[in-house]
Structure 1
Amino acid sequence: MWRRLLCLFVACTWLAGAEAEVQAEKADVRVIIDISGSMKQNDPENLRRPALDLLIKMIPEGSKAGVWTFGQYVNMLVPHRDVDAEWRREAAAKVEKVNSVGLFTNIGGALERATKDGGKPLPGYRTNIILLTDGMVDIDREPAVNQKEWRRIVDEVLPSLQGEQIKIHTVALSANADKELMNALSLGTDGIVAVAENADELMRIFLRMLEQSAPADEVPLSENKFLVDSSIEEFTALIFRADPAQQAQLLAPDKSFYQADTKDKYLSWHRGADHDLITIKHPIEGEWLVRADLDPDSKITVVTDLKLLVNPLPNNLFVNQGAELQFLLKEKGKTVSDARFLRLLKVQATLTDKRGNSLWDKNFSDALPPGDGIYRATLPAFDKEVMAQLTLRIDGKSFNREFSHRFAVREPFRVELVSSDAGAHTVKVSANGQSLDRSRTVVVAKVREPNGRSSIQPLVLSATDHWELALSPELDGEYQVDLRISAYDKDGNEFEHHPDTLRFSHPTGQPLFSAQTPAEPEPVPEATPTPAEPEPVVEPEPEPEPESEPEGLPAWIIYTGLGVGNLLIMVLAWVAYRTIMGGRKVADADVEALEQEDELEAQVDEAAPANTAPKLEDFGGEDDDPPPKPAMDPGAEVDLESDEAVDSVAEASDPPLDEEDAAPEFSLDDLAPAKDEDEKP
């Protein structure tokens, strides 16, 4: 039942476009770059510049684009208008102005400014924002002001962008970046969330986001070869060199070759630190060869009248959610539907994970060509999280086309365990999407300790829209945390979610997420006396060699001294023996007394009346006149999926009521955070 309700929740968040027709939409790309002072540490070599420069060169002509920078203030670096040769020249000249001099991090202002002037979606365009930042919302020195701005972005700015169907792709360039805000912006608009571990990754991330925002026509690059057909007016080869020092070359079908220093009016060759960007207009038809050790991110885009058009696909899906795929070929603006032509094509779609393992494939050539020229398929739903890549290939012998699209399959909630060196552990739960009614959503945890005891604890909704539970373990060993989430979407649909069990070890020095053998009870130490430490024996200093004995000393004096010394040693040894044996008897007596005391305390515990606060294992059914209940096994599991079990366990956290008091029935709604009076409905 809950899976069906989850699908309703999913449909409200990300539309797969099952009924959408294939449209030739152009791209509207708006790039927002953080220039706050902290970038000096997180991007010391200012690799934002070459990444932005390559992005500018790769935006398809005929698109719209603009660039903004922000710190305390927001500035339009490159005007937002049609992308042409003049726009590229102007944008390339402005790249050097990307710096790290800003005082604050005005993310909200940047989003508003980048969508203010004509920011509303234009007919025939898909608007995408690429946001790069390394920090958190920071517009004032007062934390309360920044928190208020955070809420404004989430509660006002984001819904406005959602209403305009603008996608926001976020790149976090620091561990200090506000992950909650980045996820809210991206997942709330079906954008891409990316974290650059270092500035070197920026270029690849930017290109991937551009590829999703402004897909271009591509031809397959296989074994360093690609095919140019008669419909191709221009191709651009983006070559990432596996060896940065290597000199790449292009070998044409007529055996002529091109390299970085080749002089040709139809050739444009830009060489970067680890890549080459090569554009050739009016290329010769036939098979071309790239002479270089290629990185897998290399690709060939083309300008052609024969286009492969694909319906907009989601960047994010939930588990157990599929998507509809539709695509067609267009020649000079008309859909190719001639069955005689389509029968000659080899049309194949594949899904792979990030390691290249096959997840699904479909050969469309096995069936009759579609009468309207539109190929259709339903992408499979996955029952676990995965990063997947869809690849479409059309091989027409004399021409070929390729399309690729990456998407993430996610659980509706993400769970994180944060452990500190001080021994504190925090469980954090966040929603993957913005269609959740957080005021009605309740998250409850069952925490199982190493000794087998369990307790039910609610997670508290934080000011930044995630739920938290702070744990301070006292026992050493492995802990388990099972979560149950009772959620509502904004349309009032209810669903439940049960994330995988969390495991952690305490203290944190032990390996996390490893099954550990429970510690056995320490045995009572035997009454073995602690041996008395012998007094330190002072080693006699080497006696000086006698120069000469005084003459006339009698021998009997020497022998008498030796005898007295030996007798003294024997007396001291006897005294030490008596002392040790006496200590043994005392220790035996102390241990025996302690054992008797333990037995007495155990008897008292067994005979003690049950008048203390009830424990988790002491709860059973709900009879009107309940008989005495046997104590639950401390190691017994509580079925977190059973409402009755959770209800009975949750009641255990309350003290016993008087007979005349009515015991309120436990409900997950009781754990929902109270609404502030000022909170907006």
Structure 2
Amino acid sequence: MRGLIAAALTLLLCGTLEAAESAPPDVRMLFDVSGSMKRNDPNRLSDSALELMVTLLPEGARGGLWTFGSRVANPLPSATIDADWRQRALALKPALSDYQQYTDIEQAVRETASAAPADGKRHLILLTDGMIDIPGGGDERGRNEASRQRLMKQLAPTLADESVVVHTIAFSSGVDSSLLAGVSRETGGLYAVAEDPAALLRAFLDVFDRIFPRDQVPLDAQSFPIDERVDAFSALLFHDPDSPEPALIGPDGTRHTLEEHSPAIRWQHQPRFDIIRVPQPQAGKWRIEGDVGPDSRISIESDLALRVAQLPTTLYQGFETPIEASLNQPDAATDAPPGLEMRAELRDIDGRVRQSVVLERDGDSYRGVLAPPRKVGNARLAVVAKGDRFIRERRQAVNVLAPISAKLDEAAGSVALRAEHPLLNSDNTRIAATLQGESLTVRTQGDKRWRVVLPAIDESLSLALTLTANVTLDGDTRTIELPPVMLNPEADTGLRGVSLDRPEAEALEEAKPDQQPAASGSSLDALGDELGQWLAALPARLESLWEKAPTSLQQAARETRRNPLWWLLAALIVLLLLWRRRRNARRRRHRRRGARRHHAEREEPHV
């Protein structure tokens, strides 16, 4: 990963900036140098991030570097990108290991955003591994929470009003993801977790696609089309370190490799990817020999370019997404190219299309509305323009969220709800909660918050709380099925509610007959597991046999139930079931205590 700088990824993003930009973007990198980074960033991803920044920023843009821990420093002020700037930026690697004790994210974001020049479009890329932890005496928890609230409720909205976009990249899964994702969402930025070099590269490419959008052509089955209007293309090809070097095959069959290619082709090779820039390429179908990773892409330079209105970074379940695009034709043609079709697609990370809509022509533009997304998570939003002899794509990373988030509060015996969509509040939204077919009380907790009061629940059962939002906007009422909340998710037995409708992936799996019982430390526990599984399945088996039994046998069974031995056997079965339930509850308590001890061991020394 250290060799990323040598790969010269600027080949992928070279060229002029979008004509729609009135001024070049100002990209400001913000590195966490708190003490925990020494433990959570053993692979020195921060160094790789700096190399990526230096490599990806195109000539003419602006960039700067800040570090933060207990204090905020600016070793490289924002300035126009040139060769001297890149050299000074790379010399700052030692500053990224100048570890400090605390993590003052609020002050870092505030100072970086307000540094001169404090006008125009500014993109902050925040890289961190933890949560807010600011110095001072007294109530540490209250101090940190107050800083968190200021960042979320005051600073982030102010930055959004000032056209400051905050992209956040987490170096570990232990970050305050709610805070980082919330700040990015409020300011129109992206949020990603990058715990390895591949994920870091993917996150940076997503961010730079957002800041410096480029036209692409689809890479399908290791081939891609190039039309006569393409002036040059850059192929970014990911592969395994041990894979053979890829080869590029032109439409006429000419084979290009790292060792043997046309002098006009610029080829950069790294263990995990290759970048190949081909000027004045031959029109037709190009092919790639070798293994190609899923994040590979073909960017093009052409006077026939796709223009797309600003795409959102966050989509919400239950809400449509309007799309507007146009095709730039330098010859000033008023008619659409032959066979032109415009469409918008929502795709999974692996490229599979979730939803699609055709964009209809409206004057010089093409417009359409993408239906509400059905699945939460990371996705790609793409606009595709396809004619008889060309194709153009614009892809940007998006996060698909539920319009209302839910968080289980076990200590309070309730579920806290919060409106994430900016238009939702307690005046236009009504929440309904159902548990096993019974409605629960939902209390309003402010302008954008609700709380569901939970009844006493058997700890041995895992239940799904069904949530529904009835939203009224501009006189239109819609019902949105929110993701269910699992209660007692670690319980051995999972029950679906009477009216539950949730994906199979979210349902708790029942114990399979061929599963081995958990180790208990004694043969008695193992025997109890087997006996418990047999007893749990016994009622269904007896019911099936009873329905199939002849009438004479059923009558004999009724006579048997009058025997006292039958009742003794029934009492024994009940006692064994109660014993097994108590033992399972004790195991769950042990697991929770072990998890708390593990969490305590991971705390930083100063916490």
- Shorter chain as denominator, the TM-score bin is 0.5 to 0.7
Query: 5 Å matches for 1:265-276?
Result: 266-276=264-274
Question: Could you tell me which of 17, 20, 41 is aligned with 1:23?
Answer: 20
1:393 is the counterpart of 2:384: yes
Match for 1:349: what amino acid? R
Residues 1:236 and 1:78: Cα distance change in structure 2 (over 3 Å)? farther
Counterpart of 1:528 in structure 2 is none
- Give the whole-Å Cα distance in 1 for the aligned partners of 2:20 and 2:421: 26
SS at 2:315 equivalent = strand
Match for 2:298: what amino acid? I
1:379 is the counterpart of 2:370: yes
Residues 1:443 and 1:322: Cα distance change in structure 2 (over 3 Å)? closer
Q: Is residue 187–residue 434 contact of structure 1 (8 Å, CA) maintained in 2?
A: no
SS at 1:153 equivalent = helix
Residues 1:433 and 1:319: Cα distance change in structure 2 (over 3 Å)? closer
Q: Is residue 318–residue 480 contact of structure 2 (8 Å, CA) maintained in 1?
A: no
- Give the whole-Å Cα distance in 1 for the aligned partners of 2:195 and 2:444: 30
- Give the whole-Å Cα distance in 1 for the aligned partners of 2:391 and 2:155: 43
Q: Deviations over 1:54-99 (max 9, x none)?
A: 3443344443333333222223354423345554454445456533
Residues 1:500 and 1:298: Cα distance change in structure 2 (over 3 Å)? closer
SS at 1:239 equivalent = strand
- Give the whole-Å Cα distance in 2 for the aligned partners of 1:274 and 1:103: 35
Counterpart of 1:101 in structure 2 is 99
Q: Is residue 59–residue 214 contact of structure 1 (8 Å, CA) maintained in 2?
A: no
Q: Is residue 350–residue 390 contact of structure 1 (8 Å, CA) maintained in 2?
A: yes
Question: Could you tell me which of 485, 504, 510 is aligned with 2:487?
Answer: 504
1:45 is the counterpart of 2:28: no
Q: Deviations over 1:239-272 (max 9, x none)?
A: 1014643212334567665544569875544333
Match for 1:431: what amino acid? A
Counterpart of 1:539 in structure 2 is none
Counterpart of 1:159 in structure 2 is 157
Q: Is residue 384–residue 394 contact of structure 2 (8 Å, CA) maintained in 1?
A: yes
Superposed displacement of residue 356, structure 1:
4.6
Query: 5 Å matches for 1:209-224?
Result: 209-224=207-222
- Give the whole-Å Cα distance in 2 for the aligned partners of 1:130 and 1:391: 23
- Give the whole-Å Cα distance in 2 for the aligned partners of 1:179 and 1:256: 49
Superposed displacement of residue 45, structure 1:
0.8
Superposed displacement of residue 46, structure 1:
1.1
Q: Is residue 346–residue 355 contact of structure 2 (8 Å, CA) maintained in 1?
A: yes
Q: Is residue 313–residue 399 contact of structure 2 (8 Å, CA) maintained in 1?
A: yes
SS at 1:98 equivalent = helix
Return 5+ residue gaps in structure 1 as ranges: 1-21, 518-587, 592-681
Residues 1:144 and 1:309: Cα distance change in structure 2 (over 3 Å)? same
Counterpart of 1:304 in structure 2 is 302
- Give the whole-Å Cα distance in 1 for the aligned partners of 2:164 and 2:184: 10
TM-score (norm 1): 0.59
- Give the whole-Å Cα distance in 1 for the aligned partners of 2:331 and 2:450: 48
Counterpart of 2:334 in structure 1 is 338
Counterpart of 1:318 in structure 2 is 316
Q: Deviations over 1:375-412 (max 9, x none)?
A: 22222234664655333333456654221234334322
Q: Is residue 246–residue 288 contact of structure 2 (8 Å, CA) maintained in 1?
A: yes
Counterpart of 1:430 in structure 2 is 418
Residues 1:65 and 1:267: Cα distance change in structure 2 (over 3 Å)? farther
Match for 2:318: what amino acid? N
- Give the whole-Å Cα distance in 2 for the aligned partners of 1:441 and 1:350: 30
Question: Could you tell me which of 458, 461, 465 is aligned with 1:477?
Answer: 461
Query: 5 Å matches for 1:128-139?
Result: 128-139=123-134
Query: 5 Å matches for 1:125-524?
Result: 126-140=121-135, 142-196=140-194, 198=196, 200-228=198-226, 232-242=230-240, 244-252=242-250, 257-260=255-258, 266-281=264-279, 287-331=285-329, 334=330, 336-339=332-335, 342-354=336-348, 356-362=351-357, 372=364, 374-382=365-373, 385=376, 388-395=379-386, 399-417=390-408, 427-433=415-421, 456=441, 458=443, 473=457, 476-479=460-463, 481=465, 499=482, 501-505=484-488, 508-511=491-494
Q: Is residue 36–residue 101 contact of structure 1 (8 Å, CA) maintained in 2?
A: yes
SS at 1:216 equivalent = coil
Superposed displacement of residue 185, structure 1:
0.4
SS at 2:292 equivalent = coil
- Give the whole-Å Cα distance in 1 for the aligned partners of 2:263 and 2:90: 21
Superposed displacement of residue 163, structure 1:
0.9
Residues 1:168 and 1:410: Cα distance change in structure 2 (over 3 Å)? same
Q: Deviations over 1:449-491 (max 9, x none)?
A: 9xx99864758789x98968788746643555455779999x9
- Give the whole-Å Cα distance in 2 for the aligned partners of 1:461 and 1:474: 31
Q: Is residue 347–residue 381 contact of structure 2 (8 Å, CA) maintained in 1?
A: no
Residues 1:69 and 1:314: Cα distance change in structure 2 (over 3 Å)? same
Residues 1:379 and 1:198: Cα distance change in structure 2 (over 3 Å)? same
Q: Is residue 442–residue 452 contact of structure 2 (8 Å, CA) maintained in 1?
A: no
* Equivalent residue pairs, number: 482
- Give the whole-Å Cα distance in 2 for the aligned partners of 1:170 and 1:53: 17
Query: 5 Å matches for 1:561-572?
Result: none
Q: Is residue 478–residue 503 contact of structure 1 (8 Å, CA) maintained in 2?
A: yes
- Give the whole-Å Cα distance in 2 for the aligned partners of 1:488 and 1:508: 37
Q: Is residue 182–residue 193 contact of structure 1 (8 Å, CA) maintained in 2?
A: yes
Q: Deviations over 1:196-252 (max 9, x none)?
A: 355642221221122123211223333333455565454322110146432123345
SS at 1:377 equivalent = strand
Q: Is residue 72–residue 104 contact of structure 1 (8 Å, CA) maintained in 2?
A: yes
Return 5+ residue gaps in structure 2 as ranges: 1-18, 497-506, 511-563, 568-607
Residues 1:337 and 1:511: Cα distance change in structure 2 (over 3 Å)? same
- Give the whole-Å Cα distance in 2 for the aligned partners of 1:292 and 1:284: 21
Residues 1:217 and 1:351: Cα distance change in structure 2 (over 3 Å)? closer
Match for 2:133: what amino acid? D
Superposed displacement of residue 418, structure 1:
6.6
Q: Is residue 236–residue 276 contact of structure 2 (8 Å, CA) maintained in 1?
A: yes
Residues 1:456 and 1:220: Cα distance change in structure 2 (over 3 Å)? closer
- Give the whole-Å Cα distance in 2 for the aligned partners of 1:468 and 1:362: 37
Q: Deviations over 1:332-369 (max 9, x none)?
A: xx584431xx33254342424416554444556xx8x7
Match for 2:385: what amino acid? I
Asked which structure has the greater RCO (Cα within 8 Å, sep 6+), the reply is 1
Residues 1:426 and 1:116: Cα distance change in structure 2 (over 3 Å)? same
SS at 1:188 equivalent = helix
- Give the whole-Å Cα distance in 2 for the aligned partners of 1:293 and 1:442: 50
- Give the whole-Å Cα distance in 1 for the aligned partners of 2:101 and 2:95: 16
SS at 1:145 equivalent = helix
Superposed displacement of residue 50, structure 1:
2.7
- Give the whole-Å Cα distance in 2 for the aligned partners of 1:470 and 1:238: 52
- Give the whole-Å Cα distance in 1 for the aligned partners of 2:430 and 2:170: 28
**More displaced stretch, 295-304 vs 83-92:** 83-92
